[in-house]
Amino acid sequence: MNFTLTEEQEALRKLVRDFAMKEVAPSAAQRDEEEVFDRAIFNKMGRIGLTGIPWPEEYGGAGLDFVSYVIAVEELSRVCASTGVTLSAHLSLASWPIFKFGTEEQKQKYLRPLALGEKLGAYGLTEPSAGTDAASLRTTAVRDGDEYILNGTKMFTTNGGEADIYVVFATTDASKKAKGVTAFIVEKGMPGFTFGKKEKKMGIRSSPTVELIFDQCRVPMANVLGEEGQGFKIAMMTLDGGRNGIAAQALGIASGALDAALEYAKTRTQFNRPITDFQAIQFKLADMAKQVEAARLLTYQAAWLEDNQLPYGKASAMAKVFASDAAMYVTTEAVQIHGGYGFTRDYAVERFMRDAKITQIYEGTNEVQRIVIAGHVLKD
Amino acid sequence: MNIIVCIKQTFDTEAKISLENGAVKEDGVQFILNPYDEYAVEEALKIKEEQGGEVTVVTVGPARVEEAIRTALAMGADEAIHIEDEAAYGDEYTIAEVLAAAIRQKSYDLILAGNQAVDDGSGQVAVRLAQLLDIAHISTITKLEIHGTQVVAERDAEGDTEIAEASLPVLVTAQQGLNEPRYPSLIGIRKASKKPLTKLTLADLGLSADAVGRKVTPVEVFLPAAKGAGRILEGDTAMRVQELVRELRQTSKVL
């Protein structure tokens, strides 16, 4: 057992922390306030290689591992959870299934520009009436010659509208339920593919969450990802790993909130003493620190399992539930330590607390994660 | 074009400095590549990209400085020389002598360094090095152009810009504004660990500890006095002026 990061992983953390402080943090509060996505930040992430961390160099990646990837999402989320989820959705949800199930041609055409950060990716599974029950999709794909015609609506798509490449799930045979789902790679600009409502959200407000509308959208057969009918499996396997990206995002939010609370508590004085002299504050900080540390270990472990080609579904579900609950707890306590100031938008902990909530909901609610964990525990 | 960049690892500019046993305490401090040296590395890489060549970084210091070396290699430098020897960590005289001995073993056209290090800010080492190597130097440059063997640099001269010309080989020191240093790339980080890093001691350089021993010894190291609260002078104008003059004479002794 070895809990030490490699020299490369340490260098990556330092780089991403420096990048996050200089390029992401300064505009985070304003982007949140104005609910704007800044593509320039994503482009800069592409230039240093963050957009393709675990993919081999032949596909435009940096050739690093998944531990490096979760460290990067953690460090970005420490200052801006919206930027963290932009990367997580781009890499775990859009790029991963293309890397895993794409043909060589699809990898060169789609994975490569995604990895280089020239293109931004998104993932369209959720529908108005198919959230947790993902097999009951209503978006249809009907074969017509060398093409499929897609019709339907996807909602809550992270990076939606801004992304160039979408991995979209539609049913090619509704009678087969889950086994009738097929995955497609759809490009922004394909006729019949438009964007609908942009959600007004509580948190992660500089990450766009948008409706995708398919109206007689023709997608070439060459854009089927995997095989016809394999879509549900692809969707679920993608979420298995994707949820560890969310664990990393939650971990980053919690870690950022803990740091902010520590800094505030050290400088805030009441009754002529810094409030860190009071045991009530010390106990809060101790509990927050242990939650952050445990979340980190679970998240890194799940990534390590994936790097070592070991089963990671259970570990990533545990990491996701634990880290997101930790994020909600730590950010709430961070606001509490800040007192009235923490409730104002002048302090980052207010944003962190709003950002934390979604991590308990998306990429499989924490209730679903518990079903996944229970399934593993009962089977093992 | 063979380019050598002299670098130094320094404290993070955000670091809180504390003392222990008359020396700056290193525990828990983040170290970085000296920001002025980062400009020097960036400039070397730009020249290499335009004109071809090799970039070698050279530094003196304990094992921890390897992290700064890896940063420069991850940015794109080709190889590194690390002089790791207790007897080499002296003053500016020592470091310049040690660097000169190491650089004399290499062939070079251009030497770059930061104008100063953000820790002690003496700004002496690079200029001493040029003297020892008997080559020209242009300090605090904000622009550099190289055509063949002709070098034209703009240098920061107390707020004005001075244009200096020289021919290769030359040593130049980088001032803020010279360029915008790139971030290391992730591929760069991965490749940095495989790039050649030569470790040398004084013996390898044919130097004796006595010959390069420090010429300057710090007598005392202390933190600046904490800044006191301001004081607002009261009374009418005449009284306030009188009080101000008295303060300047007696308390701060500037008059």
> With an 8 Å Cβ cutoff, is B189 touching chain A?
yes
User: Is A8's CB within 8 Å of B184's CB?
Assistant: no
- Give B165's DSSP letter: E
ipTM: 0.84
Report the amino acid identity of residue A158: T
Q: What percent of chain A has pLDDT over 70?
A: 100
Q: CA-CA distance, B169 to B130, in Å (whole number)?
A: 10
- DSSP SS3 for A298: helix
Nearest Cα to Cα of residue A158 among A118, A116, A199, A102: A199
Among candidates A12, A18, A19 on the partner chain, residue whose Cβ is nearest the Cβ of B189: A12
Residues A113 and A127 in one domain: no
Residues A346 and A274 in one domain: yes
The answer to whether position A2 is within a domain reads: no
The answer to whether position A165 is within a domain reads: yes
Q: Across chain A, what does the average pLDDT equal?
A: 96
Q: Which of A229, A246, A269 is the last residue of a domain?
A: A229
Residues A19 and A56 in one domain: yes
User: Is A7's CB within 8 Å of B184's CB?
Assistant: no
The answer to whether position A222 is within a domain reads: yes
The answer to whether position A267 is within a domain reads: yes
The pLDDT value given to residue B94: 96
Q: CA-CA distance, A35 to A32, in Å (whole number)?
A: 5
Q: Are A298 and A314 in contact (CB under 8 A)?
A: no
Nearest chain A alpha carbon to B190: A8
Q: Are B71 and B193 in contact (CB under 8 A)?
A: no
Q: Which domain holds residue A105?
A: 7-120
The pLDDT value given to residue A71: 98
Residues A90 and A162 in one domain: no
Residues A359 and A257 in one domain: yes
Q: CA-CA distance, A145 to A350, in Å (whole number)?
A: 54
Among this protein's residues, is A58 annotated catalytic?
Answer: no
Q: A228-268: per-residue pLDDT in tens?
A: 999 999 999 999 889 999 999 999 999 999 999 999 999 99
> With an 8 Å Cβ cutoff, is B190 touching chain A?
yes
H helices of B138-200, in order, are 186-192
The answer to whether position A363 is within a domain reads: yes
pLDDT of chain B, 255 residues: tens digit per residue: 999 999 999 998 888 888 888 888 888 888 999 999 999 999 999 999 999 999 999 999 999 999 999 999 999 999 999 999 999 999 999 999 999 999 999 999 999 999 999 988 999 999 999 999 999 999 999 999 999 999 999 998 888 999 999 999 999 999 999 999 999 999 999 999 999 999 999 999 999 999 899 999 888 888 888 887 888 898 899 999 999 999 899 888 887
Strands A209-220, A193-198: pairing kind: antiparallel
Among candidates A18, A50, A63 on the partner chain, residue whose Cβ is nearest the Cβ of B190: A63
The pLDDT value given to residue B254: 81
Q: Which CATH number characterizes residue A185's domain?
A: 2.40.110.10
Residues A158 and A225 in one domain: yes
Nearest Cα to Cα of residue A351 among A83, A121, A138, A141: A83
b (16+ CB within 10 A) / e for A154-167: bbbbbbbbbbbbbb
Among candidates B71, B186, B192 on the partner chain, residue whose Cβ is nearest the Cβ of A49: B186
The pLDDT value given to residue A193: 98
The residues that bridge with A191 in the sheet, in sequence order, are none
Q: A94-146: per-residue pLDDT in tens?
A: 999 999 999 999 999 999 999 999 999 999 999 988 877 878 899 999 999 99
Residue A137 makes CB contacts below 8 A (sequence gap 6+) with A125, A127, A130, A152, A169, A170, A171, A181
Strands A269-270, A273-274: pairing kind: antiparallel
The answer to whether position A109 is within a domain reads: yes
Q: A276-297: per-residue pLDDT in tens?
A: 999 999 999 999 999 999 999 9
Q: A69-93: per-residue pLDDT in tens?
A: 999 999 999 999 999 999 999 999 9
| CATH architecture group of domain B2-205 | 3-Layer(aba) Sandwich (3.40)
Q: CA-CA distance, B178 to B170, in Å (whole number)?
A: 17
The pLDDT value given to residue A24: 98
Residues A262 and A317 in one domain: yes
Domain with CATH 3.40.50.620 in chain B: 2-205
First-to-last C-alpha distance (Å) of chain B: 55
Max Cα–Cα distance, chain B, nearest Å: 72
Nearest Cα to Cα of residue B48 among B6, B68, B77: B77
Q: What's the domain count of chain A?
A: 3
- DSSP SS3 for B160: strand
Residues A257 and A336 in one domain: yes
The pLDDT value given to residue B44: 98
The answer to whether position A292 is within a domain reads: yes
Q: Which CATH number characterizes residue A30's domain?
A: 1.10.540.10
User: Is A7's CB within 8 Å of B71's CB?
Assistant: no
The pLDDT value given to residue B252: 80
Listed in order, strand segments (DSSP E) in B34-174 are 54-60, 79-83, 110-114, 136-147, 150-157, 160-167, 170-174
Q: CA-CA distance, B55 to B75, in Å (whole number)?
A: 11
Residue A320 has pLDDT above 90, yes or no: yes
Neighbour count for residue A35 (Cβ, 10 Å): 16
| Token pair recorded at residue B7 | 């670098």
Residues A116 and A34 in one domain: yes
pLDDT band at A22 (very low <50, low <70, confident <90, very high): very high
Residues A350 and A284 in one domain: yes
